[in-house]
Structure 1
Amino acid sequence: MSASAVKADPMRLVREDLAGFAGYASARTAALDGDTWLNANESPSPNAADTDGALRRYPDPQPGALRTLLAGLYGCDADRLLVGRGSDEAIDLLVRALCRPGADAVLVTPPTFGMYAVSARLHGTAVIEVPLLDNEAPDRPIGFEADFAAIERAATAGPVKIVFLCSPGNPTGSALPLERIETLARALQDRALVVVDEAYGEFSEVASAASLIDRQPNIAVLRTLSKAHALAGARIGSVIADAGLIAVLRRCQAPYPLPTPCIDFACRSLSAEAIARTDAGVAQVLAERERLHAALTDSAAVRRVYPSQANFLLVRFHEPDAAMARLLAAGIVVRDQRAASGLGDALRITVGTRDQNNRVIDAINTLERTQ
């Protein structure tokens, strides 16, 4: 094996004290066969509300049918995919598996999804911030960009084990170019795992960073069924990574992460017919996103509407307090970003139905007339 191949092995990034860690072997872990299951201390009879009796049994820790469907959806091998309770669990597992409490750090790029820092701090792991650049250069679209040079410098200067990149970004809506992600991962391949959170990937023109893992196995990708697939209540998330790293994460995971009803529902939601409906829904969101962007850009109450490759818009207002109050008075609840770094005048607005978006436009236009 060449020196470069050794450096590119993400298993070198796993905590040394977990090298021989086997995790918990549940009753469903062993591949056993039989017609009378008495190994998990389950009830011999179903609950009165459980009409088919399926819920008296513990679920498969990593349901094969669901993993196969998700692997097909995301274009990866099933042994490179771990399914769990939304992206939040995947973030937590990655921090626990790679970062030594009190010794290692994660790097985040604010403004960004807050759970990266929350998971790190709950684990006793330092958080290093490299803010996004709010780019207004005349030769580029207005939007946020990652400062990849600064990220590389910070990651190599400190004990960073994970770099979290959100693409498309939450709350910015900006997608990161794959070539820059790959270049960063190559520079950090013997130091850190580059995690690309693609929760909003279905709404983006940029291809998935999962396509980079063969060349740079120190890249991991987070996906979810919560957004485009409209299954936020089912809590189905995935992490796609090197097969060896997936095996480590599995050993760090709770014994039965997904409830049986959620597994069954997710499988049904990934049928060809359901995927076709999802694709149609995404197309509707994209059309409404552009219409809402144009309408808000034309409003005198709005300072800036950022370009978005997600299912929301980040909007800066001249009078953000008045805008928030006006929307609430109209019964419209949006995400308040005013406490986020550099976003003291900003609100994040999810793209809704045409009627819902019209209500947003009308409320902002009313605000404009009363200023």
Structure 2
Amino acid sequence: MSVLDLVREDLRDFAGYGSARSTRLQGRDWLNANEAPWPNAADVDGACRRYPEPQPQALVDALAALYRVDGAQLLVGRGSDEAIDLLVRATCRPGVDAVLATPPVFGMYAVAARLQGAAFVEVPLVDGAGGLMPDLVRVVDIARERRARIVFLCSPANPTGAAIEAEAIARVAEALRGQALVVVDEAYAEFSSQASALCLLAAHENLVVLRTLSKAHALAGARVGVAIGHPQLVALLRRCQAPYPLPVPSVALACAALSAGALRETQRRIDAVCSERTRLFDGLLRAPGVRRVYASDGNFLLVRCIDAEGAFAGLLAAGIVVRDQRGAAQLGDALRISIGTPEQNDRVLDVFGAPRDQQSVTSSAQCMEAGAQRLPGEGASR
């Protein structure tokens, strides 16, 4: 069975839009795209006068090297959000197929399903001693029962921070072979010690991994994300993608951020975040008013509070904005707190009234200096 059997039948031979940059032509005078003959006065180097490549080769090559995959396995787009939308639209027939996810979880899976007219099936996380984790046996059973065409597994999960072992993901992909795509959203993978699901791609054609430069690489404003999967599926997604998805400045910034020197600095910052995550976790555990802090493989902590409204208001009064999770399923008493600089984390601990011995005397610069030198994507230590 081909992975294309999981795609909508009416899209399997879809050619998509042939833009002026779809074919690699060579010439001196480029008069095929109705572009302006002169750059804008504000465009100093003239880089934005021309349309960009649909899949900029230099960026594809850099990302393929970072994730250790072939460039044909990789779709570059506007953050992970575009990949989520494309995957749902390419696989789900409106009113027929379903999308499955495990709430509380990233909200864009449900948004993409609704916009496509696909049923959104929820298999709630189970709150136990190990944290909020998916019941993967039930995920498979419900996916079969509800004819799910795509199953989203967020690992490390947002907003819970829990990661799923690669072996468990492999079992889900194998169980749903021929029925559904299993999409593993690894937006926070660089902060985790768990092996990436990228290691499973060769054995599971129905597996797709999402990665992004928004989090660990500090390029949220550039909007660069990737879907990594079987080359046939990626080729089809490219045909379904709108032309010119990435602006020239975003491509240039991303390529610069993937240079060897920039990657070394990024890894130092990942290590600093992981160190601060541990310190903030330990401090919040001892803070009055905190009911529970969940262990996290992301760059954030999920905190249950005795008085979440009071804690949220107190943080705001101190100028600290955190994510209020009280509207999410099972999280009526919870806040999600991103890991900041040591100084910012100290201010969070002050608001919560954590004991002073949990406060840092280390500056941001010293914290950065202590970082190790692994490359991002290889997995940071806890």
* TM-score over 0.5 for the pair: yes
Aligned pair partner of 2:338 in 317, 326, 350 = 350
Q: Tell whether the 8 Å contact from 2:99 to 2:151 is kept in structure 1 after alignment.
A: yes
Aligned to 2:304: 316
* SS in structure 2 at match of 1:262: helix
Matched, 1:37 2:25: no
Q: Give me the identity figure in percent.
A: 59
Aligned ranges 1:243-254 → 2 under 5 Å? 243-254=231-242
Aligned to 2:58: 65
Residue type matched to 2:95 in 1? G
Aligned pair partner of 1:148 in 136, 141, 146 = 136
Q: Tell whether the 8 Å contact from 2:283 to 2:354 is kept in structure 1 after alignment.
A: no
Gaps (5+ residues) in structure 1?
A: 1-5, 137-141
Aligned pair partner of 2:95 in 92, 98, 102 = 102
Aligned-pair CA distance for 1:53: 1.4
Aligned to 2:106: 113
Quote the Cα distance in structure 2 between the aligned partners of 1:185 and 1:294: 36
Quote the Cα distance in structure 1 between the aligned partners of 2:258 and 2:168: 32
Matched, 1:124 2:117: yes
Residue type matched to 1:162 in 2? I
Quote the Cα distance in structure 1 between the aligned partners of 2:299 and 2:192: 9
Q: Tell whether the 8 Å contact from 2:284 to 2:354 is kept in structure 1 after alignment.
A: no
Quote the Cα distance in structure 2 between the aligned partners of 1:10 and 1:211: 18
Matched, 1:177 2:153: no
Aligned to 1:79: 72
Aligned to 1:19: 12
Quote the Cα distance in structure 1 between the aligned partners of 2:272 and 2:44: 38
Quote the Cα distance in structure 2 between the aligned partners of 1:343 and 1:10: 37
- TM-score of the superposition, structure 2-length normalised? 0.92
- Evaluate the alpha carbon distance shift between residue 77 and residue 366 of structure 1 in structure 2; reply closer, same or farther with a 3 A threshold: closer
Quote the Cα distance in structure 1 between the aligned partners of 2:250 and 2:135: 39
Q: Tell whether the 8 Å contact from 2:288 to 2:354 is kept in structure 1 after alignment.
A: no
Quote the Cα distance in structure 1 between the aligned partners of 2:263 and 2:278: 23
- TM-score of the superposition, structure 1-length normalised? 0.95
Quote the Cα distance in structure 2 between the aligned partners of 1:90 and 1:285: 27
Quote the Cα distance in structure 1 between the aligned partners of 2:354 and 2:121: 42
Q: Tell whether the 8 Å contact from 2:287 to 2:354 is kept in structure 1 after alignment.
A: no
Deviation per residue, 1:63-89 (Å, 9 max, x gap) = 011001001111111100000000000
Residue type matched to 2:293 in 1? V
* SS in structure 1 at match of 2:89: helix
Residue type matched to 1:363 in 2? V
Deviation per residue, 1:82-101 (Å, 9 max, x gap) = 00000000000000111111
Aligned to 2:209: 221
Aligned pair partner of 1:283 in 271, 279, 282 = 271
Q: Tell whether the 8 Å contact from 2:326 to 2:334 is kept in structure 1 after alignment.
A: yes
Quote the Cα distance in structure 2 between the aligned partners of 1:69 and 1:53: 24
Deviation per residue, 1:206-254 (Å, 9 max, x gap) = 1110110110110000000000000000000000000000001001101
* SS in structure 1 at match of 2:353: helix
Matched, 1:336 2:294: no
Aligned to 2:368: none
Residue type matched to 1:81 in 2? L
Deviation per residue, 1:27-78 (Å, 9 max, x gap) = 0001211111000000011111111112110001000110010011111111
Quote the Cα distance in structure 2 between the aligned partners of 1:356 and 1:231: 20
Residue type matched to 2:170 in 1? E
Deviation per residue, 1:232-277 (Å, 9 max, x gap) = 0000000000000000100110100000000001000000000000
Residue type matched to 2:288 in 1? A
Quote the Cα distance in structure 1 between the aligned partners of 2:231 and 2:12: 15
Runs of 4+ in 1 over 3 A off after TM superposition: none
Q: After alignment, is 349-358 or 46-55 more displaced?
A: 46-55
* SS in structure 2 at match of 1:56: coil
Deviation per residue, 1:119-139 (Å, 9 max, x gap) = 110111110000011112xxx
* SS in structure 2 at match of 1:134: strand
Gaps (5+ residues) in structure 2?
A: 356-382
Aligned pair partner of 1:302 in 290, 293, 306 = 290
Aligned-pair CA distance for 1:366: 8.0
Aligned ranges 1:254-265 → 2 under 5 Å? 254-265=242-253
* SS in structure 1 at match of 2:95: coil
Quote the Cα distance in structure 1 between the aligned partners of 2:226 and 2:172: 23
Residue type matched to 1:50 in 2? D
Aligned to 1:239: 227
| RMSD, aligned CA | 1.0
